Structure 1
């Protein structure tokens, strides 16, 4: 039995629509005498990351914790300055993915942004020029639960107003893709713009 055609698209932000240039963090680390890769390593450690992705702490508090962790190696002032400079860079939009979002919305497909993010998301979307590009935005820190939890995908489908079996989810992380499929959504593992051909075909109305 074939699956129902997807009538809504749920798209991840980081790694799909937004790209990060690793040279930015590397430059900050060199400038402040930090170990290569340490900014991301500390920030993405689960003990610091999980609370900010579920809205238990703010983005500012998260970054303050990163600075605290760096303080023993470079001192408090330099640690805070390094984190501040690192955070000024908010990534870049992939123009091919944004064009695809606009294309499918014009064709009548409901498009949601489904992201594990912090309370800085709205400001980031404004800075990136993405305000108004989605029908709904499902931010883990606002929902209180993050991907790949089933409750996250339930909340996303409710926001889209679409049954899970009619939602196509796109993410660059295997765990999120597996979680979406377990929740009843169709899901595609993103590895780059070459995937747009598949997604267009998956969203096309069936003929006849």
Structure 2
């Protein structure tokens, strides 16, 4: 049998941090953009990869998105205003999962944040009130290696001083979950607050 985890590794975006599609849609409507335009421009892999491995800063990435929207709309001022408002929205915290993280740490379980993030991550953690909630923060833009690379998970285990088989990884991406399992971690795909009882049981909380 797999030993009980002594460390928890939690994803940020789509897991601990929620993004409300209605907010983003409202920004698109305000600036006359087609639904989904901002999301599509931001997550296009050719634009996203450089910023999450630290080859671009967050501000440089925003300029790339503005340029793409300008090409689509022919209106740089509108594109810039839309991206500025979009960037001002930093999401919200999944409180039930944060409560679990706090309970885990109180019980002696090490907790790490594992994210494909940008250089804006420290500011985001301050904005969200999460700065002091983790024993380690593993940010792909600092490592220059993204999830689900084995080297990323290896760095996370080193940061938590825990062997992979004693780490439980929680992420909303099935591909990232599979990557964690491939290096020997227990891994669970997050679908929402209904998953909390399972995670608590797995950690013995």
Query: How many angstroms apart in 1 are the aligned matches of 2:52 and 2:183?
Result: 20
What aligned pairs does 1:137-156 form with structure 2 within 5 A after superposition? 137-156=137-156
Query: How many angstroms apart in 1 are the aligned matches of 2:55 and 2:149?
Result: 17
Query: How many angstroms apart in 1 are the aligned matches of 2:190 and 2:163?
Result: 22
Query: How many angstroms apart in 2 are the aligned matches of 1:29 and 1:18?
Result: 21
Task: Give 1:74 shift.
Answer: 4.2
**DSSP 3-state at the match of 1:80:** helix
Task: Give 1:198 shift.
Answer: 1.1
Q: What's 2:158 paired with?
A: 158
Conserved 8 A contact 1:18-1:94: yes
**DSSP 3-state at the match of 2:191:** coil
Output one character per residue of 1:18-66: Cα deviation in whole Å (capped at 9) or x when no partner.
1011111111111111111000001100000001010010111111100
Moved over 3 A (4+): none
Query: How many angstroms apart in 2 are the aligned matches of 1:59 and 1:193?
Result: 30
What aligned pairs does 1:124-139 form with structure 2 within 5 A after superposition? 124-139=124-139
**DSSP 3-state at the match of 2:41:** helix
Moved more, 24-33 or 137-146: 24-33
**DSSP 3-state at the match of 2:4:** coil
Q: What's 1:57 paired with?
A: 56
What aligned pairs does 1:38-57 form with structure 2 within 5 A after superposition? 38-57=37-56
Query: How many angstroms apart in 2 are the aligned matches of 1:74 and 1:194?
Result: 44
**DSSP 3-state at the match of 1:33:** coil
**DSSP 3-state at the match of 1:117:** coil
Moved more, 188-197 or 170-179: 188-197
Structure 2, gaps ≥5 residues long: none
Task: Give 1:137 shift.
Answer: 0.4
Q: What's 2:31 paired with?
A: 32
Normalised by the size of structure 2, how large is the TM-score?
0.97
**DSSP 3-state at the match of 2:165:** helix
Normalised by the size of structure 1, how large is the TM-score?
0.96
Query: How many angstroms apart in 2 are the aligned matches of 1:134 and 1:74?
Result: 44
Say what the alpha-carbon RMSD is for the aligned residues.
1.0
Moved more, 106-115 or 20-29: 20-29
